[in-house]
Structure 1
Amino acid sequence: MSANDLTLVHVTDTHLLAGGALLHGRIDTWARTAEALEAAARFSPDAVVVTGDIADRGAQVHAGAAKLFEHAARELRCPVIVVPGNHDPAGSVGATFNRKRIASGPNPADTVHMNGGLRIIGLDTHGFRESAGRLSRPQLHWLRAVLAIPAPRGTVLALHHPPIDSVLPALAGRGLTRPEELAAVLAGSDVKGILCGHYHLPTFGSLGSIPVWIGPAVSYNHNLLAPDGQVHDLDTSWFSVIKVGAGQLSATPVQGPRPAAVMSREVAVPARQPALL
């Protein structure tokens, strides 16, 4: 990678709650999100990409979240690009988000952004209150038309549901349905990488020859060594730094700030709870 590479900060699965409520009774997700966005300044991002589950269980937080992301955009002097997840009601990521978009698609959160010659396309993978996501045929037709003209420095896709499976059996079948349809649209295109969330677990894979990065969550993350049927490490909050260069893409998870008083705590929560995704 070189000094001319573009830097993206990838934030996902913030699971914000209304009225000062704490996630699982102890996690201040607003504070964790603000801390992640503040820490992003250290990396001088060219854009921040937020890949869904802004809210937890459909909480009415999107007006406040839009203000938070707009404030971050001013402080960081870069666009904040947002797509919804399965905890975000249909239409909740609308006109108050993605103000720097240069084009829109079939859904309000299908957006196109251009930054330093890099094109970032956000896709709404639907699935509110469902585990799996999907892309409609109109979305795929629109995406194919957008990609027909290459961008000067290539394209990165942002979507919530990963087009690859998780190593955790509890997450089986909870990614993007029919990923082969997306792969067919992307074949031969200038897409350099796909950024996703949803799994609360950093994972790298590929869709065809295109790298897929599933970022760790800002809210909390899974522990692969936890006993069956449980989730640990509610005190871990992460974001990612993505470097995009000529023919290259790298992803680095970054652990967010944590209060010293809770660094050694470990809490178990049943993995079957819908809130975990």
Structure 2
Amino acid sequence: MSAAGATLVQLTDTHLLNGGALLHGRIDTWARTTAALNAAARFFPDAVLVTGDISDRGAQVYSRAAKLFEQAERELGCPVIVVPGNHDPAGSVGAAFNRKRLASGPNPADTVHLVDGLRIIGLDTHGFRETEGRLSGRQLQWLLAVLKTPAPRGTVLALHHPPIDSLLPALAGRGLARPEELAAVLAGSDVRGILCGHYHLPATGSLGGIPVWIGPAVSYNHDLFASEGSTRGLDPSWFSVIKVGAGQLSATPVQVAIPVAAFTREVPVPARQPALL
């Protein structure tokens, strides 16, 4: 970490598949994830955050993914901090991940890391095959206890489901349930920012005055001009560079420099039915 603060690289929604399978029949998500990790070296990160949906629809990729992230830790010289998303079954982000954690919470992926005085807390927001994400009462009590002791350079939260809604109508109501409970825990704390994924669309907001950054996806991103009642995926791959300095937090989306096939895919979203996005 420099005197100016910490540099964090955020990857989200990698949607890895078994073998040589391609996402939607055309996207090599392993190649994109590897390319994003390689590109991260350009920014000399103090930590890499992977904010959920490691696999696509529960594909059993976790052993291979853990090895990839462990290799990235060695090559980048920084921790890779991983939380699960709604495509990741309960317990899938376990002991093979987050090897540099200082402490764990009620779930295996609830972790505490300290990077030169900046505390990074990962939270499992559950939601596998559910419409919304959630934090349990035990998790909120654990988080409250951790935050009672301020970190030297403050705290950043990493979770999958955003505590704010999406601009895309098809994603409305699919973020974190009861965000006011999280806001109450964070009130008066040293939390500097909340980093999320899930929407496949970059966005900013705030929760109780704390900045929220929703990172664009490594796999594909959503088109805001899709027809009503559907979502449409666009091909470009992105990650984020987060700067956390004295009283400041900035987030910059970075496009992965890989060949891009211009494609779209219509995905109908049935009314009142849970969907894995």
Give the aligned partner of residue 70 of structure 1. Answer: 70
Give the aligned partner of residue 121 of structure 1. Answer: 121
Matched, 1:267 2:264: yes
- How far apart in 2 are the matches of 1:275 and 1:52? 16
Determine if contact 1:57/1:275 at 8 Å carries over to the other structure: no
Amino acid at match of 1:272: V
Determine if contact 1:230/1:268 at 8 Å carries over to the other structure: no
Determine if contact 1:232/1:266 at 8 Å carries over to the other structure: no
SS in structure 1 opposite 2:264? coil
Matched, 1:174 2:174: yes
- Pick which of 102-111 and 222-231 moved more: 222-231
Determine if contact 2:86/2:276 at 8 Å carries over to the other structure: no
Amino acid at match of 1:169: P
SS in structure 2 opposite 1:160? coil
Amino acid at match of 2:37: L
Give the aligned partner of residue 85 of structure 1. Answer: 85
Amino acid at match of 2:217: A
- Quote how far apart the aligned CAs of 1:22 are: 0.4
- Quote how far apart the aligned CAs of 1:223 are: 1.2
Determine if contact 2:15/2:54 at 8 Å carries over to the other structure: yes
- How far apart in 2 are the matches of 1:249 and 1:112? 20
SS in structure 2 opposite 1:75? helix
- How far apart in 2 are the matches of 1:151 and 1:59? 37
Determine if contact 2:130/2:275 at 8 Å carries over to the other structure: no
Determine if contact 1:113/1:121 at 8 Å carries over to the other structure: yes
Determine if contact 1:183/1:207 at 8 Å carries over to the other structure: yes
Equivalent positions of 1:77-226 (< 5 A) are 77-226=77-226
Determine if contact 1:107/1:124 at 8 Å carries over to the other structure: yes
Q: Please, what TM-score do these two structures have when normalized by structure 2?
A: 0.95
- Quote how far apart the aligned CAs of 1:16 are: 0.3
Amino acid at match of 1:252: T
- How far apart in 1 are the matches of 2:112 and 2:247? 21
Determine if contact 1:52/1:84 at 8 Å carries over to the other structure: yes
Give the aligned partner of residue 30 of structure 1. Answer: 30
- Quote how far apart the aligned CAs of 1:267 are: 1.8
Determine if contact 2:171/2:199 at 8 Å carries over to the other structure: yes
- Quote how far apart the aligned CAs of 1:233 are: 4.8
Amino acid at match of 1:235: D
Identity of aligned residues (%): 78
Gaps (5+ residues) in structure 2? Answer: none
Determine if contact 1:200/1:222 at 8 Å carries over to the other structure: yes
- How far apart in 1 are the matches of 2:66 and 2:122? 16
- How far apart in 1 are the matches of 2:115 and 2:230? 41
Determine if contact 1:170/1:271 at 8 Å carries over to the other structure: no
SS in structure 2 opposite 1:142? helix
- How far apart in 2 are the matches of 1:276 and 1:142? 28
- How far apart in 2 are the matches of 1:114 and 1:67? 22
- Quote how far apart the aligned CAs of 1:70 are: 0.5
- What is the aligned length? 273
Root-mean-square deviation (CA, aligned residues, Å) is: 1.4
- Quote how far apart the aligned CAs of 1:3 are: 5.1
Amino acid at match of 2:175: G
- How far apart in 2 are the matches of 1:202 and 1:269? 20
- How far apart in 2 are the matches of 1:64 and 1:179? 33
Amino acid at match of 1:82: V
- How far apart in 2 are the matches of 1:55 and 1:234? 19
- How far apart in 2 are the matches of 1:25 and 1:267? 12
- How far apart in 2 are the matches of 1:128 and 1:230? 21
Determine if contact 1:9/1:242 at 8 Å carries over to the other structure: yes
Determine if contact 2:15/2:56 at 8 Å carries over to the other structure: yes
Amino acid at match of 1:266: F
SS in structure 1 opposite 2:200? coil
- How far apart in 2 are the matches of 1:231 and 1:238? 18
**Could you say if the C-alpha distance between residues 135 and 180 of structure 1 is closer, same or farther in structure 2, counting changes exceeding 3 Å?**
same
Determine if contact 1:14/1:219 at 8 Å carries over to the other structure: yes
